[in-house]
């Protein structure tokens, strides 16, 4: 099985580069940092890389300051965590082509691009899979490692509120808390804190909210970001806020980046699937939460995505009605 293969290749490697995806979220940074700490405790050289700026709220995760943009140096193994396809890794592994690649991920849209692929959609977060690895490799939990891994689980379950949270997850969270991780502190850092500029940008974006055929959506332009003073808008969780609107089945936020590309963040209520839409446009994710990055311009991207999302909202109506 791929889990056993993942254990074996990690045991054999001595110098490991761990890369995660651009536009990083808590699970991406938690998985990368957590795996690095596990490997270091086994006496190995390990470094984490992410080809993007890290949102301020993720700095609550221990050792996040050690993450570099580009992987340079001598390594004998590259590990990708929480990335559904190699394009999501950006330039983080630009100088490491040709190395064996271990792909660890929980996204159902993963393209199995590794030499070894351990992809388990039953995991609520890639950080949960890294927790399993710690157990498999005999690395004991302490407060620091537990906090790192709990951050990813909390982040990808929206504070333990998503439909895939079950008794197994609660048992694992309990173990992490017993090891010294603080659930209240992580929830506060990941969900309750944001800069004033983000609130101002929220205000601008909410003015333009529209609802069409069960799809709620809005846009964030470069001009809006400049007016708010927020240079990076990929971590606002605005789509998660919009999916709470009663009239919505699917939510989308279109964010115009400085390079002219358009980042699309999508959320769905239980029974609806935005992962298929994201995958069709070169992205990925989970049925309730997914995203993609398109070349732009905004006025061309929006109609394409909205048409696909409206179809997804319409096609899932019967399934959702039966499941409620």
pLDDT tens readout for residues 274-309: 999 999 998 888 899 999 999 989 999 999 999 999
Please count the structural domains in the chain.
2
Average pLDDT, the chain: 91
Same domain, 269 and 291: yes
pLDDT tens digits along 132-141: 999 999 999 9
Cβ atoms of 149 and 35 closer than 8 Å: no
Mean pLDDT comparison of 12-21, 185-194, 195-204, highest-scoring range: 12-21
Same domain, 42 and 168: yes
Q: Which residues span the domain enclosing 200?
A: 196-323
* Sheet architecture: strand order including 215-220: 210-212, 215-220, 250-256, 262-268, 289-294, 284-286
Categorize the per-residue pLDDT at 47 as very low, low, confident or very high, splitting at 50, 70 and 90: very high
pLDDT at 9 over 90: yes
Same domain, 154 and 211: no
Question: What is the reported pLDDT for 181?
Answer: 98
Question: pTM for the full model?
Answer: 0.87
pLDDT tens digits along 218-262: 999 999 988 888 766 555 689 999 999 999 999 999 999 888 899
Question: What is the reported pLDDT for 142?
Answer: 97
Question: What is the reported pLDDT for 323?
Answer: 33
Same domain, 184 and 211: no
Mean pLDDT of the region 78-82: 97
Question: What is the reported pLDDT for 319?
Answer: 42
Categorize the per-residue pLDDT at 193 as very low, low, confident or very high, splitting at 50, 70 and 90: confident
Question: What is the reported pLDDT for 228?
Answer: 87
Q: 245: domain CATH number?
A: 3.10.310.30
Same domain, 116 and 217: no
Same domain, 125 and 59: yes
Same domain, 91 and 105: yes
Last residue of a domain, one of 171, 191, 211: 191
pLDDT at 1 over 80: no
Mean pLDDT of the region 55-59: 87
pLDDT at 158 over 60: yes
Same domain, 225 and 187: no
CA pair distance 323, 269, nearest whole angstrom: 12
Mean pLDDT of the region 87-103: 88
Counting Cα atoms < 13 Å in the Cβ hemisphere of 181 gives 25
Same domain, 183 and 213: no
Same domain, 111 and 179: yes
pLDDT at 44 over 60: yes
Question: What is the reported pLDDT for 203?
Answer: 93
Question: What is the reported pLDDT for 231?
Answer: 65
Same domain, 155 and 242: no
Categorize the per-residue pLDDT at 91 as very low, low, confident or very high, splitting at 50, 70 and 90: confident
The residue that leads in pLDDT, 55 or 46, is: 46
In percent, the amount of the chain with pLDDT more than 90 equals 74
């Amino acid at each position: 099985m791929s889990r056993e293969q993942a254990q074996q290749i990690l045991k054999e490697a001595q110098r490991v580069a761990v890369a995660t995806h651009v536009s990083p979220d808590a699970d991406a940074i938690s998985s990368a940092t957590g795996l690095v700490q596990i490997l270091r405790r086994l006496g190995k050289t390990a470094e984490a890389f992410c080809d993007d700026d890290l949102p301020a709220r993720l700095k609550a995760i221990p050792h996040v300051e050690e993450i570099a943009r580009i992987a340079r140096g001598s390594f004998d193994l590259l590990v990708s965590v929480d990335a559904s396809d190699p394009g999501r890794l950006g330039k983080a592994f630009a100088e490491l082509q040709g190395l064996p690649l271990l792909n660890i991920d929980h996204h159902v849209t993963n393209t199995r691009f590794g030499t070894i692929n351990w992809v388990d959609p039953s995991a609520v977060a890639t950080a949960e899979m890294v927790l399993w690895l710690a157990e498999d490799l005999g690395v004991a939990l302490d407060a620091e490692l537990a906090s790192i891994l709990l951050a990813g689980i909390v982040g990808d379950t929206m504070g333990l509120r998503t439909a895939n949270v079950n008794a197994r997850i609660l048992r694992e969270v309990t173990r992490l808390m017993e090891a010294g991780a603080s659930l209240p502190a992580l929830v506060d850092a990941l969900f309750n804190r944001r800069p004033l500029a983000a609130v101002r940008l929220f205000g601008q974006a909410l003015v333009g909210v529209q609802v069409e055929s069960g799809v709620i959506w809005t846009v964030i332009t470069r001009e809006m970001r400049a007016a708010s003073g927020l240079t990076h808008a990929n971590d606002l969780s605005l789509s998660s806020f919009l999916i709470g609107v009663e009239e919505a089945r699917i939510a989308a936020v279109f964010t115009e980046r400085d390079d002219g590309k358009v980042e699309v963040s999508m959320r769905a209520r239980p029974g609806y699937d935005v992962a298929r839409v994201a995958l069709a446009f070169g992205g990925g994710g989970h049925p309730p939460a997914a995203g993609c990055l398109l070349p732009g311009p905004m006025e061309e991207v929006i109609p394409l995505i909205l048409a696909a999302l409206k179809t997804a909202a319409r096609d899932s109506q019967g399934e959702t009605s039966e499941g409620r």
